[in-house]
Amino acid sequence: MYKYSEFDDAFLAQRNAQFRAQVERRIAGNLTEDEFKPLRLMNGLYLQLHAYMLRVAIPYGTLNSVQMRQLALLAQKWDKGYGHFTTRQNIQYNWPKLRDVPDMLDSLAEVGMHAIQTSGNTIRNVTADHFAGAAADEYLDPRPYAELVRQWSTDHPEYQFLGRKFKVAVSGSTHDRAVIRAHDIGLQVVEKDGRTGFTVLVGGGLGRTPMIGKVIREFLPEHDLLPYLEAVLSVYNTFGRRDNKYKARIKILVHETGIDEIRARVEERFVETRAEFSDAAMDVLAEIREHFAAPAFSRRSLAPFESAYTNDPVFRSWVDTNIAEHKADGHAIVTISLKAPGATPGDATAAQMRLMADLAEAYSHDELRISHEQNVILPHVHKADLPAIHAALKDGGLATANIGLISDIIACPGMDYCALATARSIPIAQEIATRFDELKLEHDIGELKIKISGCINACGHHHVAHIGILGLDRAGVENYQITLGGEADENAAIGTRTGPGFSADEIVPAIERIVDAYLTLRKGPAETFLQTYKRLGMDPFKAALYEEAKADAA
């Protein structure tokens, strides 16, 4: 795992001391809110509906047990005993007090963490495939590149005031688990003619104008990464719109200018940036790589696993849904669901965080990951340890077997917390999960991704959900629009609206009608919701959604 160098430690300490002084000046009345707001946002501190919110970055979603315990400590000491993991591989604390925030930041710095560039028009926390370094289908661990980009972009003087926020995601597998096609820049590590490099995508994004990223460079050699990114950023900084915040993301520039023209401008600029860049970055990369070396995987008997799998149906069901294939023999990737039916998606209590930290330390080479799907991952587990892990998770209320199923819902904070929201998201997620748990249909329904956002900003990824839900304010009443057929992986697609929205009372029955229609229409249990939708299109679902509603009302 990456360790901060002395330079980073000194930088963080200085930044935190500065912010402490700024908070004091604000409280003493020497800074106005207009002056203070950009300063607090640079340090991840928002003011939401009921309280401040501190957003802490978890770079490429990777944590060790000491860091996870520190996150638990913050939750317990300065918040209400829990934290909220988000789609951006951040953790958000919903109840800090202004005076406490400098202490929280100092505590984070003790374990090499911070909240820098989790807000503002900067290059945000670089996100990565949450199975990086572990997945059986992976070509190469993409996190060293993410770390390189983080070091290059953090506090980069030219990129503190971009036209808008800028999000970069990396993946080392062809199967995209990091939604790289919905980011300003998506990097996929690939091999070509024995050389390592990237397929570079640009101009993806969600929000009010969702776009799927386009390939700007089919193959970029590894050593050209930073100069090429510099060229993209430079073209964006020069040509991106600043007249309208809603048109300021690079996706709009790419859309309005055309990918071919953008490619030409980037290549032109790249000639210059490449000449300016020294090869030192490659030495840095080599050093970073050492910190991400794969752990020494053990070889042990699988007997304990096999016997539990045969004899314990609850364990078997959990293994079948929550375990993914690992690259090392006898190993597995465990996804711990933070989506128990009725729970708030992405929330973990301090006790749960400590339990997960303990399990990581004992069984997963001290590593944890946070997924954009708001779950926690133990990436390197020997299968022989799975029964013990499952038993411990059960005791901690964390053994829900629902990964990828209908109750594994992404939900943004919505109007329960967020000042920008137009409707709530969390209660809708809770009700859907609870309802399908009662129906005991979840495993029969199979893979189905529901994602909910509480406003058009789309933090809950609803555009790329199989079933997306968008909460709006229609004449002072919460109203929920449905989209179908979105996809977040390598086949990324924006969902299509079904038609008029539904009230908070009607939305769960509406989702149920869609799911019932799928169960009736599918060729067999092997055909997923998305496959059925692709085969039949919107019409039968629309009919189920609206005609049945009419029939019920009649």
Partner 1 sequence: MSRVSRPFTPKVVTANDLLEGDVIYLTEDDTWTRRLASAEVIEDEAHAQLRLLHAERQPAVAVGPYLADVSMGPNGPEPTHFREDFRRTGPSNYHHGKQEVSTHV
In the complex, which residues of this chain contact partner 1 (CB under 8 A)?
Answer: 26-27, 29, 32-33, 47-52, 80, 94-99, 344, 415-417, 421, 424, 426-427, 430, 473, 476-478
- When asked if residue 351 is in the footprint of ligand SF4 (CB under 6 A), the reply is no
Q: Which of 378, 412, 469, 530 is the binder for ligand SF4 (CB under 6 A)? A: 412
Instruction: By CB under 6 A, name the one of 458, 465, 484, 544 that touches ligand HEM.
Output: 458
Q: Would you say 9 or 473 has its CB closer to ligand SF4?
A: 473
In the complex with ligand SF4, the residue whose CB is nearer, 52 or 139, is 52
The whole-angstrom separation of Cα 182 and Cα 119 is 18
Secondary structure element (H or E) that encloses residue 138, with its range: none
**Cβ contact 549:513 at 8 Å:** yes
Which of partner 1, ligand HEM, ligand SF4, none is residue 27 near (CB under 5 to 8 Å by kind)?
partner 1
Query: Which residue among 116, 389, 405, 458 contacts ligand SF4 (CB under 6 A)?
Result: 458
Q: Which of residues 29-88 bind ligand SF4 (CB under 6 A)?
A: none
Give CA 532 to chain center in angstroms: 27
Contact 444, 453 (CB under 8 A): no
Structure tokens at 453: 């956002």
Residue 86 partner contact from partner 1, ligand SF4, ligand HEM, none using kind-dependent CB cut-offs of 5 to 8 Å = ligand HEM
The piece of 33-41, 199-207, 231-239, 438-446 that touches ligand HEM (CB under 6 A) is: 199-207
Contact 237, 229 (CB under 8 A): no
* Residue 76 φ/ψ region, left for φ over 0, alpha for ψ in the -120 to 50 degree band, beta for the rest: alpha
Binding partner of residue 205 among ligand SF4, partner 1, ligand HEM, none, CB under 5 to 8 Å per kind? ligand HEM
Cα separation, 258 vs 235, in Å, equals: 13
Rg, C-alpha atoms of the chain: 23
> Is 484 buried (19+), middle (13-18) or exposed (0-12) by CB count in 10 A?
buried
Contact status, residue 399 vs residue 390, Cβ threshold 8 Å? yes
In three-state secondary structure terms, 129 is coil
> What does the block give as tokens for 377?
């991952």
The stretches of 113-243 forming alpha helices (DSSP H) are 143-153, 225-239
Encoded one letter per residue, x for contact with ligand HEM by CB under 6 A and - for no contact, window 403-432 reads ---------xx----x-x------------
**Helical segments of 240-334, H only:** 250-257, 259-276, 280-291, 303-311, 313-322
| 455 contributes a contact to ligand SF4 by CB under 6 A | yes
DSSP 423-444: S--HHHHHHHHHHHHHHT-HHH
172 binds, among ligand HEM, partner 1, ligand SF4, none (CB under 5 to 8 A by kind): none
87 binds, among partner 1, ligand HEM, ligand SF4, none (CB under 5 to 8 A by kind): ligand HEM
Structure tokens at 185: 């820049």
Stretch that binds ligand HEM, among 96-104, 388-396, 455-463, 466-474 (CB under 6 A): 455-463
Looking at residues 87 to 126 of the shown chain, list those that interact with ligand HEM (rule: CB under 6 A): 87-88, 92
**From ligand HEM, ligand SF4, partner 1, none, interface partner of 424 (C-beta below 5 to 8 A by class):** partner 1
**DSSP summary character for residue 549:** H
Which amino acid is residue 153, in one-letter code? S
Q: Tell me the window of 93-101, 130-138, 408-416, 480-488 that interacts with ligand SF4 (CB under 6 A).
A: 408-416
Residues of this chain that bind ligand SF4 (CB under 6 A): 412-414, 418, 420-421, 453-455, 457-460
Residues of this chain that bind ligand HEM (CB under 6 A): 46, 48, 53, 86-88, 92, 164, 167, 205-208, 249, 412-413, 418, 420, 457-459, 461
